């Protein structure tokens, strides 16, 4: 017996996982995706080829019983490998020895989730685009792009998992007093690659590689075939910018000066640089996430963020987990469930958006800064000595379920305390046992 009918718009990462979870719980699920089936074709658009999956993502995958299947495709990255301009390497672990974030293929993960949704009984319709929304009815007009025929679907609940430029959200934006903002940063990104060398990884595989250069950076994540996907984050305009890189010679000169060790392992650099698009980085905020109680937004449709904390997909997966928990709690009272969902998640979505923007500065700049590195050492020692009383913000965000809003708030308290500490000490080695005790007591006093 079906518990209710759910239509999901978008078979991206959030939509495919939520379809699986709902179908596993005996909801009748119809999933409409405008693209072709990614199990038959590659992704059409050039969005990041691999993604960092961390605790929140694993939790939601675990809820669907998919942890071990995804694990088979994932490569552990235990820390950041920093590349200086002279090619010196330094490794900064993300946490304790058993803590890692995981590089997974976007396409591989999407295909796996779509297979699982189908196996659980969801009805999948590819090349079906949502054209129009009838908000009050919770209905959508869907066009079959194969034969151009259109029809209306009117489920118990219409779920917009249709990404940053969501059709469902666009309809909500036309209703009175709807809050919406989108802001682009001045940087764009371009994907490049480091191929496997004699069938093996050209760089250490169990790390996220970063070439921080102040106002911009290059990063690389490993792929299962021995290659790395690199992403260059650079301003669109200015002295060092995409606008200044107009010829193969200019690109080579820029890499020779700024990323010489990367250039050595990027034989296809100039071809890829001019073949691959330069894409935008946007933060989208909106509220409410539902209008009139029969529809709701999840994932990027509700909260698109910049990728610098590696949390966009993880936050979308956490949406799915919490959505299911609240559905269990509220049963078929969808209106109450949605109200609860958006009230709970909105502060966390705003917090992770702020954290992601802040982490860009940390990644491109501070990770190469001596004071910052000493501070990290002190915080790691504090966590080691007082595991429950001082948890570094990165650990809360990446390796725990702590609400993003709490991680943001506690992180600000830690910042305030650490600014005071760093006025008195240059190196972690100068601190005594009593100093550590005093510092953790300061954080206790903030609560």
Ligand X SMILES: Cc1cc2nc3c(=O)[nH]c(=O)nc-3n(C[C@H](O)[C@H](O)[C@H](O)COP(=O)(O)OP(=O)(O)OC[C@H]3O[C@@H](n4cnc5c(N)ncnc54)[C@H](O)[C@@H]3O)c2cc1C
CA pair distance 237, 217, nearest whole angstrom: 15
CB atoms within 10 A of CB 266: 22
Q: How far is the CB of 56 from ligand X (least distance, A)?
A: 8
CB of 293 to ligand X, least distance (A): 22
Interface residue with ligand X among 108, 163, 188, 205 (CB under 6 A) is 163
Mask 114-143, x = binds ligand X (CB under 6 A)? Answer: ---------------xx-------------
Hey, CA dihedral for 67, 41, 168, 157, is it positive or negative? negative
Verify binding: residue 155, ligand X, rule CB under 6 A: no
Beta strand pairing call for 128-134 and 79-83: unpaired
Using CB under 6 A, which of 30, 63, 105, 167 touches ligand X? 167
The residue count for binding ligand X (CB under 6 A) is: 32
Verify binding: residue 15, ligand X, rule CB under 6 A.
Answer: yes
298: left (phi over 0), alpha (psi -120 to 50) or beta: beta
Task: Considering the complex, state which of residue 13 and residue 337 has its C-beta at the smaller distance from ligand X.
Answer: 13
State in angstroms the smallest separation of the CB of 151 from ligand X: 14
From candidates 11, 159, 320, 353, binder to ligand X by CB under 6 A: 11
Distance of CA 443 to the CA centre of its chain: 29
Q: Is 299 in the site for ligand X (CB under 6 A)?
A: yes
Candidates 108, 138, 310, 392; binder of ligand X (CB under 6 A) is 310
Number of neighbouring beta carbons within 10 Å of residue 437: 12
Pick from 307, 348, 355, 393: which binds ligand X (CB under 6 A)?
A: 307
Site for ligand X in 220-239 (CB under 6 A): 231
Closest approach of ligand X to the CB of residue 390, in Å: 26
> Rounded to an integer, what distance in angstroms lies between the CA atom of residue 37 and that of residue 129?
13
Closest contact distance (angstroms) between CB of 438 and ligand X is 37
Instruction: Between 167 and 405, name the residue whose CB sits nearer to ligand X.
Output: 167
Select 162 or 261, whichever has its Cβ closest to ligand X. Answer: 162
Binding-site ranges for ligand X (CB under 6 A): 9-15, 32-35, 47-48, 51-52, 129-130, 161-163, 167, 189, 231, 299-300, 307, 310-314, 316
């Amino acid at each position: 017996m079906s518990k209710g009918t759910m239509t999901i718009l978008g078979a991206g990462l959030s939509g495919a996982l939520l379809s699986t979870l709902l179908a596993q719980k005996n909801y009748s699920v119809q999933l409409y995706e405008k693209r072709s089936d990614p199990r038959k074709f590659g992704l059409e658009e050039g969005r990041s080829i691999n993604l960092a999956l961390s605790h929140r993502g694993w939790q939601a995958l675990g809820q669907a019983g998919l942890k071990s299947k995804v694990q088979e495709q994932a490569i552990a990255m235990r820390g950041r490998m920093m590349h200086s301009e002279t090619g010196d390497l330094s490794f900064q672990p993300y946490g304790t020895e058993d803590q890692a974030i995981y590089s997974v293929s976007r396409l591989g993960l999407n295909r796996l989730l779509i297979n699982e949704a189908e196996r659980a009984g969801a009805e999948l319709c590819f090349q079906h685009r949502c054209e129009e929304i009838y908000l009050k009815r919770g209905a959508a007009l869907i066009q079959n792009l194969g034969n151009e025929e259109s029809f209306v679907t009117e489920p118990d609940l219409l779920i917009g998992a249709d990404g940053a430029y969501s059709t469902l959200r666009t309809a909500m934006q036309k209703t009175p007093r709807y809050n919406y903002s989108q802001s682009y940063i001045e940087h764009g990104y371009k994907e490049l690659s480091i191929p496997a060398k004699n069938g093996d990884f050209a760089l250490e595989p169990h790390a996220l590689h970063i070439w921080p250069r102040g106002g911009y950076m290059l990063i690389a994540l490993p792929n299962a075939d021995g290659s790395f996907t690199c992403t260059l984050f650079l301003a669109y305009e200015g002295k060092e910018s995409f606008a200044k890189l107009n010829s193969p010679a200019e690109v080579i000169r820029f890499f020779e000066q700024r990323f010489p060790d990367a250039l050595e392992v990027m034989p296809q650099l100039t071809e890829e640089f001019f073949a691959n698009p330069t894409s935008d980085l946007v933060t989208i905020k909106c509220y409410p996430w539902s209008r009139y109680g029969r529809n709701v937004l999840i994932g990027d449709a509700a909260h698109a963020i910049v990728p610098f904390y590696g949390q966009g997909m993880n936050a979308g997966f956490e949406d799915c987990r919490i959505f299911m928990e609240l559905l269990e709690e509220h049963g078929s009272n969808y209106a109450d469930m949605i109200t609860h969902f958006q009230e709970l998640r909105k502060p966390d979505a705003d917090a992770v958006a702020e954290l992601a923007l802040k982490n860009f500065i940390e990644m491109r700049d501070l990770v190469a800064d001596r004071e910052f590195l000493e501070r990290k050492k002190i915080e790691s020692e504090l966590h080691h000595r007082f595991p429950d009383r001082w948890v570094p913000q990165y650990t809360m965000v990446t390796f725990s379920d702590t609400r993003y809003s709490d991680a943001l708030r506690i992180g600000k308290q830690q910042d305030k305390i650490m600014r005071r500490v760093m006025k008195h000490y240059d190196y972690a080695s100068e601190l005594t046992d009593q100093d550590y005790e005093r510092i953790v007591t300061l954080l206790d006093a903030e609560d």
